[in-house]
Structure 1
Amino acid sequence: MPYIAVRISKTVSAAQVQQLASGITDIMTDTLCKQRSLVAVSIESIPASHWFVASQNMAELQNTTAFVSGIITEGTNTEAEKSHAIAAIFALLTEVLGVLAEASYIVLDCVPATNWGYSGKTQANRKATGEKS
């Protein structure tokens, strides 16, 4: 049940948005073994002139960068799985967007099962009652 927010420092086409959403969903499903029907992805374009690295905006640097923030339940994936997912997401971003600035970040926040859930139930509650999460 991950939620992944993607921010990109340039305008992207509808086809690129779909490619990123599908690719990230596949990575969450295949690499991190998440339930496909619960993978949520949002993608936002931010004007390059509003994104700064080292106090310079991406428009001046003529660079593209991205920030991907994913939330998953703590203890559900190994370090190797998370490392593989981060590498796969970066590869997907470069495939879809082209060369990215070094300051392109991917974060997987591992949140305790008691602190998040869906449909009004925490992941801890689902586990305690034997429900699939």
Structure 2
Amino acid sequence: MPFITLHLSGSPDPELSRDLSKRIGALACKLLRKDLRRTSVLVRYVPHADWFIADQSLQELGRNAFRLEVTVTDETNTRDEKAIFQREAFQALSTWIGNVHPHSNIHVIDCRATAYGYGGVTQDRHYQALDLGSAPNGP
């Protein structure tokens, strides 16, 4: 059940938001082994003049940037899976957005199963209720 937050430099663009939410959601679910049916994506825009890297705005730099946060339940992904996701997501977003500053970043946030959940139920409780023989993607 990842919750994905994608901050993009620029002005709101509903078509781009829809396109990137589908693409990054699918990529995260594939590489981090999550269920797309339980994935949420939030896209936010920040004006180039309000995003700073090394004391210069993206407007001054003439660049685009992103910050991608993917919240997952701790211990559900390996170190290698997260490293591969970092690489693949950075390459993909750089291509999809274009002219991306190299200090755009990705943060995979591991939350404890007892501190993270949906529907008013922690991931730990969801896990306890699983029939492990029929749950290919885990909590």
In the superposition, the TM-score normalised over structure 2's length comes to 0.89
The residue number in structure 1 matching 2:18 is: 18
Cα offset, 1:93, TM superposition: 1.0
Where in structure 2 are the equivalents of 1:1-133 lying within 5 Å? 1-11=1-11, 13-130=13-130, 133=139
> Quick one: structure 1 residues 21 and 44, their matched pair in 2 at CA, closer, same or farther if it must change by over 3 Å?
same
For residues 93-118 of structure 1, give each alpha carbon's deviation from its aligned partner in whole angstroms, at most 9, with x where no partner exists. 11211121111010001001000101
Contact 2:4 2:25 in 1 (8 A): no
Q: SS state of the match for residue 127, structure 1?
A: helix
- 3-state SS in 1 of match to 2:32: coil
Gaps spanning 5+ residues in structure 2: where?
A: none
Count residues in correspondence: 133
Structure 1 residue runs of 5 or longer lacking an equivalent are: none
- CA distance in structure 2 between the aligned counterparts of 1:113 and 1:74, rounded to whole angstroms: 6
Give % identity.
Answer: 26
- Equivalents in 2 of 1:120, 1:17: separation in Å? 27
Q: Deviations over 1:66-91 (max 9, x none)?
A: 11111000000111111111122112
| SS of structure 1 residue aligned to 2:114 | helix
